[in-house]
Amino acid sequence: MGSIDTSPRAESGSDPIPTPNGTTANGLPTVEGSVHPLAMDSTGDSAENESLRKRTKGSGVLPLEVGTRVMCRWRDGKYHPVKVIERRKLPCGGVNDYEYYVHYTEFNRRLDEWVKLEQLDLNSVETVVDEKVEDKVTSLKMTRHQKRKIDETHVEGHEELDAASLREHEEFTKVKNIATIELGRYEIETWYFSPFPPEYNDCSKLFFCEFCLNFMKRKEQLQRHMRKCDLKHPPGDEIYRSGTLSMFEVDGKKNKVYGQNLCYLAKLFLDHKTLYYDVDLFLFYVLCECDDRGCHMVGYFSKEKHSEESYNLACILTLPPYQRKGYGKFLIAFSYELSKKEGKVGTPERPLSDLGMLSYRGYWTRVLLDILKKHKGNISIKELSDMTAIKAEDILSTLQGLELIQYRKGQHVICADPKVLDRHLKAAGRGGLEVDVCKLIWTPYKEQN
Ligand SMILES: [Zn+2]
């Protein structure tokens, strides 16, 4: 479980989210017209098409080949460079009536989307097609071998992948398979590919039970399920309750199906997350907003039961409808409170996603600078680490990033000018939800068993 993803935006108020116009994305990408079956027409270029293509007006470049680079009108109304990742015929269209799955080359893959031909500026087409992509089979149906390879290559995390494996990952995960999900009161547009079992390949929308996280192809199936499902909260122990907020600890070994469902769901919003089917080794901390209808999941983080590398968090996610409310920061803070109770230092598993890194940097900055501000006299990194459960390396990199560390007479010295600290604290943002430690009732896993 490699990647980290939360929404740091609201917490700091100033964290940039990459968008094609360089401003802060206002919540989720809203991809209109992106709900389509996954099935790809990989044999669209028959000889018949070829002859028809020549007859079509303005057909010099149509249909566009996979790999083509062209300018595309985005939702901001401006044109941005894209690369065509995939194409498919429109069900009732003519021979050149394709739509195109494009990657905005300057921006994160979460903004990839299906676009209509009219959004593309055909005058800007660059005809040099990336051969590697062109040669690839365009069907998204994975063979079992390919699927296993993806699972294997994910295990070590993104940074460990060699270039070939990474290309393979990109290749088989390039097009979002599930475009939207229904979860509780929300219909949510997804961000990334998630390797649902093959029988779901023909779905663009899935219906999740918000309590047990079972997923179904049709609304009626979900409605039938909801009449029978007796869960009103995640399975497992409620270990924290404050106001309407509850945290549940779910043991992946005792609740295997729930753990797997959670992973499938989370992968839709995490790019390089490892999808472990072996959820036995993990605990899942599921944060819920509770009301009289039940406890509604807003996000979660997972944690290895035993980590040699002192990881205290594997994956973290705030579901899109609940982002920008400080939950990501709450989850990070919670993971450190668990580490403090265990009497250990912890660090998140790498790699961190762009959003994850921003969240962590913000958290570390706030926690460390709060202490430095109040502290009189010298303080060492080791002492800071003992007080916060933040790993020494993370403390050092945070303080170095803020240029608060100087190297004097052969050792690192923290320089904490109060004015500078205030400036950094302000930039790191405040607010959000605090973890009320006295409401955490929890026994570390080791002692539970
Ligand atoms: Zn259910």
Answer yes or no: are the C-beta atoms of 106 and 20 closer than 8 Å: yes
305 Cα–ligand 1 center, Å:
26
- With 0.85 as the threshold, say if the pTM is over it: no
- Judge residue 259's burial from the number of C-beta atoms within 10 Å of its C-beta, 0-12 exposed, 13-18 middle, 19 or more buried: buried
Instruction: Report d(CA 238, CA 246) in Å as an integer.
Output: 7
Structure tokens at 161: 């992948």
227 Cα–ligand 1 center, Å:
9
77 Cα–ligand 1 center, Å:
41
Answer yes or no: are the C-beta atoms of 182 and 217 closer than 8 Å: no
By annotation, the residues acting in catalysis are 349
Other CB atoms within 10 A of residue 46 CB: 10
217 Cα–ligand 1 center, Å:
14
Residue 207, beta-bridge partner list: 182, 216
413 Cα–ligand 1 center, Å:
54
Q: What are phi and psi of 199, to 5 degrees?
A: -65, -10
Residue 69, beta-bridge partner list: 83, 126
Instruction: Report d(CA 177, CA 194) in Å as an integer.
Output: 7
Instruction: Report d(CA 147, CA 172) in Å as an integer.
Output: 9
237 Cα–ligand 1 center, Å:
17
Structure tokens at 117: 């031909």
258 Cα–ligand 1 center, Å:
10
214 Cα–ligand 1 center, Å:
6
Give me the residues near ligand 1 (ion), CB cutoff below 5 Å.
209, 211-212, 229
150 Cα–ligand 1 center, Å:
29
Length of the chain, in residues: 449
pLDDT tens per residue across span 74-88 = 988 999 999 998 888
Task: Give me the amino acid identity at 77.
Answer: G
Answer yes or no: are the C-beta atoms of 302 and 352 closer than 8 Å: no
Q: How far is CA 249 from the centre of its chain?
A: 21
- pLDDT tens series, the chain, 449 aa: 444 433 333 333 333 333 333 333 333 333 333 322 222 333 334 444 443 343 333 457 888 988 899 999 998 899 999 999 888 888 777 777 898 999 998 888 888 888 999 999 998 988 655 444 433 333 333 333 333 333 333 333 344 455 666 555 565 566 777 999 999 999 999 998 888 988 998 888 999 999 999 999 999 999 999 999 999 999 999 999 999 999 999 999 999 999 999 999 999 998 776 666 689 999 999 999 999 999 999 999 999 999 999 999 999 999 999 998 999 999 999 999 999 999 999 999 988 877 788 889 999 999 999 999 999 888 899 999 999 999 999 999 999 999 998 888 887 788 888 899 999 999 888 757 899 999 999 999 876 66
Structure tokens at 386: 């003992």
